[in-house]
Amino acid sequence: MLYTDLLFVFAFLPITVIVSLFDRSAEYKNLILVISSVIFFTWGRPAIILLLFLTIIADYLFGLLADSEKKPLRVMGLILSIIMNGGFFVVFARNYLFDKGEILGKLSSLSFADKLIPLGIAFYTLRGVSYVFDVYKKNTEVEKNPFCILTYMVSFHFMFAGPVVRYGDIRGEIRERKVGFSEINDGFTRFVYGLGKAVVVAPVFKKLMEAGLVYENLTRTGAVFGMIGFLMYYFWSFWGYTDMALGLGLMNGFHYKENMLPMSFTKGLSHTAYAFNGSVTRLSSDVLVYRGEKKILYILTGIFCSLFVGLWYGFYKGALAGALVLGIFVILENLLLKKHFDKIPKILIAFYTFTITVASACMFCFDAFWKGRKWIFALLGKADGIKSEAVMEILKTNYVVVAFGIVFAFPIARFIVKKIGEFLAKHKCYGLVRISQTIFTAVIFAMYTVISYHGVK
385: enclosing H helix or E strand: none
DSSP string across 208-236? HHHHH--GGG--HHHHHHHHHHHHHHHHH
Whether 134 shows a pLDDT value over 90: the answer reads yes
Whole-angstrom Cα distance, residue 133 to residue 257?
A: 19
Whether 15 shows a pLDDT value over 90: the answer reads yes
> CB 147: neighbour CB atoms within 10 A?
13
What pLDDT score was predicted for residue 188?
Answer: 92
> CB 31: neighbour CB atoms within 10 A?
16
Whole-angstrom Cα distance, residue 352 to residue 334?
A: 14
Whole-angstrom Cα distance, residue 344 to residue 324?
A: 25
What pLDDT score was predicted for residue 230?
Answer: 93
Report residue 217's pLDDT band, with 50, 70 and 90 as the boundaries. Answer: confident
Whether 112 shows a pLDDT value over 70: the answer reads no
Q: What is the largest CA-CA distance in the chain?
A: 68
- The pTM of the whole model exceeds 0.75: yes
Positive or negative: CA dihedral 236, 239, 242, 247? negative
What pLDDT score was predicted for residue 305?
Answer: 92
What pLDDT score was predicted for residue 252?
Answer: 92
Report residue 102's pLDDT band, with 50, 70 and 90 as the boundaries. Answer: very low
The answer to whether the beta carbons of residues 322 and 358 sit under 8 Å apart is no
The answer to whether the beta carbons of residues 11 and 19 sit under 8 Å apart is no
Say which residues have a Cβ less than 8 Å from residue 454's Cβ, sequence separation at least 6.
none
What pLDDT score was predicted for residue 207?
Answer: 93
What pLDDT score was predicted for residue 105?
Answer: 53
The full set of domain ranges for the chain reads: 6-179, 184-250+260-454
In the three-class reduction of DSSP (H, G, I as helix; E, B as strand; rest coil), residue 5 is classed as: coil
Give the tens place of pLDDT for each residue, 395-452: 999 989 999 999 888 877 777 877 777 777 777 776 776 777 788 788 888 888 888 7
What pLDDT score was predicted for residue 43?
Answer: 76
Give the tens place of pLDDT for each residue, 287-338: 999 888 889 999 999 999 999 988 888 888 888 999 999 999 999 998 888 8
The answer to whether the beta carbons of residues 94 and 166 sit under 8 Å apart is no
- Tell me the mean pLDDT in the region 377-382: 84
The answer to whether the beta carbons of residues 398 and 230 sit under 8 Å apart is no
Whole-angstrom Cα distance, residue 240 to residue 405?
A: 12
Higher per-residue confidence, 211 vs 124: 211
What pLDDT score was predicted for residue 367?
Answer: 83
The answer to whether the beta carbons of residues 304 and 323 sit under 8 Å apart is no
User: Could you give the angle at which helices 278-288 and 295-313 cross, rounded to 10 degrees?
Assistant: 140
What pLDDT score was predicted for residue 107?
Answer: 60
- Tell me the mean pLDDT in the region 9-24: 91
Proportion of the chain above pLDDT 70, given as a percent: 91
Whether 361 shows a pLDDT value over 60: the answer reads yes
Average pLDDT of the chain to the nearest whole number: 85
DSSP string across 80-127? HHHHHHHHHIIIIITGGGGGSSSSGGGGGGG---GGGSPTTHHHHHHH
